[in-house]
């Protein structure tokens, strides 16, 4: 069976890193190449100034990477609405209350980063080894940029990635009861209909990660581990996680936040 993912280097200087990654993931290394010139695998990890997940072929969409410094997240950090953002309201953020958050399904870390920019200490969990590498690469570049930018330094100090690669349900089950103020869940959910089509640049990412078929298993250990609340981000059309109705739901621009409370957040 042909591999679905391979490693490439952007330049010859990046080739040693690509070869090391190839050994680490037990994936073929195709040397120095461009994703548009590759047809033998549907996607590649490109080692260069940043690590990128790329679909291959001449008409492939743009790459996916984790960029906590520039791009869309930089714009959101500066102009995204601060504490008025739906994710901030969902976790209960308010003046003087910046809860520690466990993002148990971190993905590309976007919501975790937003919460860190607003003052929350956030630990990310991610079980997919390739996505973990993208996150680690994004954190590395954030820490490098933080040396010259005090604002980024404060954010970098609040954002971390757990070393564990265990499934989130298992990791949560090992936590002490009510040891995390907020547990945040955003499991993958299959898109439905034209209105929920995956953005072109995310096609490779969704092919890699697939659906979280065990997503329902997350809720019970999350509720046990949280103190204030568990927040579940869902598409607007998605059923409740584990078919359990939340105490509160409200909609954001692109989805819905279901909130399961245990203890009230400080007023």
111 is in an annotated binding site: yes
Q: For the stretch 208-245, what's the b/e string if a residue is b when 16 or more beta carbons lie within 10 angstroms of its beta carbon?
A: bbeebeebbbbbebbbbbbbbbbbbbbeeebebbeeee
Query: For the chain, how are helix, strand and coil distributed in percent, rounded to 5?
Result: 40, 20, 40
Q: Which two tokens stand for residue 187?
A: 């499991």
Burial class (CB in 10 A: 0-12, 13-18, 19+), 182: buried
Binding residue per annotation — 243? no
Q: With beta carbons less than 8 A apart as the criterion, state whether 203 and 55 touch.
A: yes
**According to the annotation, is 258 in a ligand binding site?**
no
127 is an annotated ligand-binding site residue:
yes
Residue 15, token pair as written in the block? 């080739």
Task: Return d(Cα 39, Cα 58) in angstroms, integer.
Answer: 9
Check the annotation: does 212 bind a ligand.
no
User: Which residues are annotated binding-site positions for S-adenosyl-L-methionine?
Assistant: 110-111, 126-127, 186
User: Which residues are annotated binding-site positions?
Assistant: 110-111, 126-127, 186
């Amino acid at each position: 069976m042909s591999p679905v993912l391979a490693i490439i280097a952007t330049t010859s200087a990046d080739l040693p890193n690509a070869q090391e990654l190839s050994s680490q993931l037990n994936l073929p290394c195709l040397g120095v190449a461009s994703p548009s010139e590759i047809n033998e695998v549907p996607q590649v990890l490109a080692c260069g100034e940043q690590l990128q997940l790329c679909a291959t072929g001449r008409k492939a969409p743009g790459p996916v990477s984790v960029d906590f410094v520039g791009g869309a997240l930089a714009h959101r950090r500066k102009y995204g609405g601060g504490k008025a953002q739906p994710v901030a309201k969902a976790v209960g953020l308010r003046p003087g209350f910046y809860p520690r958050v466990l993002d148990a399904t971190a993905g590309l870390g976007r919501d975790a980063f937003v919460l860190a920019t607003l003052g929350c200490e956030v630990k990310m969990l991610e079980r997919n080894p390739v996505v973990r590498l993208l996150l680690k690469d994004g954190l590395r570049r954030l820490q490098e940029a933080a040396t010259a930018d005090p604002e980024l330094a404060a954010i970098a100090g609040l954002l971390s990635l757990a070393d564990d690669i265990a499934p989130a349900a298992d990791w949560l089950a090992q936590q002490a009861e009510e040891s995390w103020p907020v547990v945040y869940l955003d499991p993958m959910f299959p898109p439905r209909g034209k209105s929920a089509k995956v953005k072109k640049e995310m096609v490779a990412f969704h092919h890699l990660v697939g659906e979280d078929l065990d997503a329902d298993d997350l809720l019970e250990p999350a509720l046990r581990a949280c103190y204030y609340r568990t927040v579940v981000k869902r598409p607007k059309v998605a059923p409740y996680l584990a078919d359990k109705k939340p105490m509160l739901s409200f909609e954001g621009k692109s989805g819905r936040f279901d909130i399961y409370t245990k203890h009230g957040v400080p007023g």
